[in-house]
Amino acid sequence: MSKKEIKKEDLRRKLSIAVAMLLFSSHRLPGVRGWELKKRLGKKYVKIIEVLNNYLNNIGLQVKIVFEDEEKFVLNEESLEKARFYITLAKPLTVSEVKGAGWRVEDVATLAMILTIISSKGGKASLSEIKDVLLTKLPKWKIESAIERFIRKGYIQISEENIVYLGWRAKAEIDQKELLKSMLNLELKQSEEDKK
């Protein structure tokens, strides 16, 4: 085998290890930390993830990196090692695809409202504040059921003081800036229609 063939085979092996690590979680949470990838793949694990991303993009997936403390974020080796790497969809699902995945439109709207409230409040909001907003649209029993379901699925988390934060899944799967922009556009359209 030539050096080039050996390098290709080594890359292929490392790519398959990376996919296995990212898809088959051995933790309570899916995905893996950067330090775990570095330990198995070597110092150039970020390059391997970039190559993997190119392959995954062909089938509509991507490796998403969620950093631990996004408020004090600085991109460096240490923050990458602490970050969690996930495989997610590269593009948002359409409404029919969301329905096909088992979500009801009402659930998607409820989750969008909760995440928008949290994001607009700097990443945390009180549970009572969220419930008050949702009560204008939904009955109390549906709100409580939805909140419990979103906690179980990892979209939100609640502290002992009843403060609601974004969960691991919301950070990995949902573009917060895009969500806020979409909700703002809806509000602007609604206020224009109300003026007519």
Q: What is the pLDDT of residues 158-173, one digit of tens each?
A: 999 999 999 888 888 8
- Predicted local distance difference test score (pLDDT) of residue 71: 58
What's the topology of domain 3-91? Answer: Aspartate Aminotransferase, domain 1 (3.90.1150)
Task: Report, as an integer, the average pLDDT of 6-12.
Answer: 84
- Is the domain spanning 96-195 CATH 1.10.10.1210? The answer is yes
The structure's pTM equals 0.72
How do strand 156-158 and strand 84-89 relate by DSSP bridges? unpaired
Share the mean pLDDT of the chain. Answer: 85
How buried is residue 161: exposed, middle or buried, by Cβ count under 10 Å (0-12/13-18/19+)?
exposed
Residues spanned by CATH 1.10.10.1210 within the chain?
96-195
Residues spanned by CATH 3.90.1150 within the chain?
3-91
Which pLDDT tens digit goes with each residue over 181-196?
777 776 666 666 666 6
